[in-house]
Amino acid sequence: MQIKKIQQELINPMNEQSSEPYIFEVDLDHSGKRLDVYLVEMSQQYSRSYLSKMIAQGNVLVNGVVPRKRGQIIENGDSVSLTIIPIDDYLSSPKPEKMDLKLVVDDEEILVIDKPPGLTVHPGFGHIGGTLVNGVLGLGYDLPNISGVTRPGIVHRLDKDTSGLIILSKTEDSHKYLTKQFKERAVEKTYFAIIKGKLSSSKGIIDAPIGRNPNNRQKMAIVNGGREAITEFEVLFYIGKYTFVKVHPITGRSHQIRVHFSSLGHPILGDKTYGRDNVNLSNRLFLHAKQLIFRHPASKELVTVSCELPIEFEKLAQETIEKKDYLQLIN
């Protein structure tokens, strides 16, 4: 079926190069829905804002006619065509911006940055500027565009609200070498998190598939048929009604650690997306990427890169344990 074909092919919109239109025939289950909502459900990985752009640009037709508006109601039997245009075509090259970034590694092949919470990694619809990429370009670095003009040097993800280590490549060769390591799960990642409630297991493995939340396409969820997602964890100590955990994500799905702990009934402190009424005085997400172990693109030797845990973690921990004990546990 055509619908099955498009769902299989629209996996990575940032690299999509096809301009051949895809055709959908509206069935009874989708009759009466808004056009933009329908397209989000059909194409899975594209955001509503991106598909709205496609409608506005005339890349969507309903029964062969350009719709009057993105909220046009579709009916049973309608034919909807969607022509995919690479998202980079709608975003100009990121502009350099002055930004105070903490560089952990800066050599001829790579940059490793300790990203603060609240900083989006790369430009996209809704955040054209003010991203990590803009800040890196503002420091004068010329990064390869192998992942697209909006993602120069980017080889892996880090959520906007998550702080900690992120690697950027300076050359195409290093980009390919690092990307391969992440794809093959050869990079060892260590996170620290503070979660709500007292986790009863001292250590464990969460093995639950993750995909788009069928009720909210902007969120991820544990779903049947989702992509494999595995998270190892170890409880270090308790802080009153919270648990301080060390986390090793084996896979790298979007929002993986947040979704997995939320599924246990222990959302990460400060996670307003996956934890109901989950606020804290520090107004931040208590999830931090503290350490990465990988093979350096130049030497091919294993390197370990670490950064400090944010002060907010230490302040909470001191309610329970001495600073010297805390430092011993996290290092």
CA gap 129, 122 in Å, rounded: 8
CA gap 114, 164 in Å, rounded: 5
Q: Cβ(273)–Cβ(286) under 8 Å?
A: no
Which two three-digit tokens encode residue 303? 């390197």
Closest CA relative to residue 269, chosen from 184, 198, 174: 198
Backbone torsions φ then ψ of 238, nearest 5 degrees? -110, 145
**Active site includes 78?**
no
Q: Cβ(197)–Cβ(243) under 8 Å?
A: yes
* Residue 73, helix vs strand vs coil: strand
CA gap 248, 101 in Å, rounded: 25
Q: Cβ(269)–Cβ(214) under 8 Å?
A: no
> Which residue is listed with tokens 């790298």?
252
Element (H, E) at 166: strand 163-169
The full length of the chain comes to 331
Catalytic residue among 159, 161, 277, 325: 159
CA gap 164, 184 in Å, rounded: 22
Q: Cβ(245)–Cβ(199) under 8 Å?
A: yes
Instruction: Give me the active site residues, please.
Output: 159
